[in-house]
Structure 1
Amino acid sequence: MPESPPTSGERSRRFHDLGLRAASAAVLVPVALGALAWGGLVWAVLLVLLFAGLMWEWAGLSRHIVSAARPRFLLAGVVYAAVPGAALAWLRDRPGGLIDVLFLLVVVWMTDIGAYAVGRLAGGPKLAPAISPGKTVSGAVGGLVIGVAAGLLVARSPAAILPGAIISIVSQAGDLAESALKRRLGVKDSGRTIPGHGGLFDRLDGVLAAAPVAAVLALLAQGGVPLWR
């Protein structure tokens, strides 16, 4: 039987954490964009700090792993965080790399915001109920559309539609992968680093998945800038 449209009360409850999420974003987004705009050592320091924070959270998650498998789990965490970090450093360091990383971040962020907003408002069939009961098909489609549209505003070129769609889809897949990991470990959040968002992995899962893909797209664009050339 189709799910009935959410009532106003249900919508209010669905957005109960919106204020805290917005406040956290209002602090973190300017820091990230400022470091990105500055580039060089400032961007590198931010990436190193994020890597350290991610490893701290991953070490905490390892407590839910049996001792024999813990070294492999820790090594997987290093790869999980280091490869995207290297991709972000490489992308920014290229001539004109500022626009590439900005495009990547805007698509991922707006995909996340769009999926959250559309999914909470529209509801409907669940996207992957066994992995993340809160995610809906409407949210995934809404996130894709809004993420690609935001990327087009940055790129100002229709050639950015395909790379934007790829990055948006991969970022949502990264979100689902992190949700599957947390479900397997029996935890709700990767940590409590960011109010309203949980841990750094909870906030950066989409970027971690999409950054290496963006680097590959940049290479496929004959090393050109921007990555949608």
Structure 2
Amino acid sequence: MSTQRWTDLGPRMLSASVLIVISLIAVWLGGIWWRGLISLFCGVMVWELVNMVDTNRRRSARILALVAGGCALASIQLPAPLELFALPLLLLPSMAGFGQMERGGVTYAVFTAMILLAGYGIMALRAEFGLVWMLWLTSVVVITDVAGYFIGRAIGGPKLWPRVSPKKTWSGAVAGWVGAALVGIAFMNVSQVGIGLVGVSIAISMASQIGDMAESTVKRRAGVKDSSNLLPGHGGLLDRFDGMLGAALFLLIAGQIVDFPPGLQ
């Protein structure tokens, strides 16, 4: 087995450890701490997105990042009578960016909407369902990524989408689903919900992989390896949280269709 497969493991683990510690503290505290961190992350990811799709818009990237972060925070802070005004707030950064972009406007608008909606979903999940279910979502996404990384590189095999993401394999993808199912079983036992949580966990795992591949498509079109160089071994926040964006957005939509948590006893 070639050691070159694991050359980025050290920096990846260090960056991931720092992010995990910061995120765990914020999610434990909840409230404005969690909302502030997620809003900050949304702003940074929009900044990375603008710099990827249109490299001549450095100033616009900063402005749109501030708008995105502000809208994300404002959307979750609205009182009950005004909560539906969160919807235009979440789409405002996408609309504001059209006139600022020389190229990549549609890609920017779609992904910015995805970032803001997913960010809102993550903040709402913590506020409405509590710490346990936020930890469940995070665990599913993390185990999908970790299992995909280690099993995919150890076993190899057929590529999932070689034209866009040559390192992703079917073995890694399936390992992620198995890991997600185990997370679902673990949380099913401690939270007294039904077996349906296992199915939801696998679907969340798939959604996180779709988010990962969607971001890889943007990078491929932009001709860049990473969304930025903020995180050693990972690239940028968008590289690190692309899976969480897909998972949170899927949960936000699926939660309108099926009961969540499923089969709560």
What TM-score, normalized by structure 1, do the two folds share?
0.87
SS of structure 1 residue aligned to 2:103? helix
For 2:188 and 2:11, locate their aligned partners in 1 and report how far apart those are by CA, in whole Å: 30
1:3 paired residue number: none
2:139 paired residue number: 106
SS of structure 2 residue aligned to 1:134? strand
1:45 paired residue number: 36
Question: Are 1:168 and 2:202 counterparts?
Answer: no
Tell me the alpha carbon deviations over residues 126-165 of structure 1, each in whole angstroms, 9 at most, x when there is no partner.
1111111111111111111112212322332533110001
Contact 1:217 / 1:227 at 8 angstroms: preserved in 2? no
Alpha-carbon deviation of 1:24? 1.1
Alpha-carbon deviation of 1:71? 4.3
Q: 1:220 to 1:75 in 2, by over 3 A?
A: closer
Alpha-carbon deviation of 1:218? 3.4
What TM-score, normalized by structure 2, do the two folds share?
0.76
Question: Are 1:208 and 2:245 counterparts?
Answer: yes
Contact 2:147 / 2:176 at 8 angstroms: preserved in 1? yes
Contact 1:151 / 1:164 at 8 angstroms: preserved in 2? yes
For 1:59 and 1:68, locate their aligned partners in 2 and report how far apart those are by CA, in whole Å: 11
Alpha-carbon deviation of 1:55? 1.7
Correspondence for 1:82 among 112, 116, 123: 116
For 2:158 and 2:104, locate their aligned partners in 1 and report how far apart those are by CA, in whole Å: 36
For 2:46 and 2:263, locate their aligned partners in 1 and report how far apart those are by CA, in whole Å: 32
Contact 2:118 / 2:252 at 8 angstroms: preserved in 1? no
For 2:244 and 2:231, locate their aligned partners in 1 and report how far apart those are by CA, in whole Å: 16
1:31 paired residue number: 22
The runs of at least 4 consecutive aligned structure 1 residues that moved more than 6 Å come to none
Residues 151-190 of structure 1 mapped to structure 2, 5 A cutoff? 151-156=184-189, 158-190=195-227
Provide the aligned C-alpha RMSD in A.
2.0
Q: 1:126 to 1:74 in 2, by over 3 A?
A: closer
Alpha-carbon deviation of 1:221? 4.4
SS of structure 2 residue aligned to 1:193? coil
For 2:202 and 2:258, locate their aligned partners in 1 and report how far apart those are by CA, in whole Å: 16
For 1:228 and 1:179, locate their aligned partners in 2 and report how far apart those are by CA, in whole Å: 35
Tell me the alpha carbon deviations over residues 29-86 of structure 1, each in whole angstroms, 9 at most, x when there is no partner.
1211221111111111111110121122112113258954354444334312111011
Give the gaps of 5 or more residues in structure 1.
Answer: 1-7
Q: Which has the higher contact order (CA 8 A, sep 6+)?
A: 1
- Percent identical across equivalent pairs? 37
Q: Residue type of the partner of 2:131?
A: L
1:121 paired residue number: 154
Alpha-carbon deviation of 1:13? 1.2
Question: How many residues end up aligned between the 2 structures?
Answer: 217
Q: Residue type of the partner of 2:246?
A: A
Q: Residue type of the partner of 1:139?
A: G
Contact 2:53 / 2:103 at 8 angstroms: preserved in 1? no
Question: Are 1:144 and 2:135 counterparts?
Answer: no
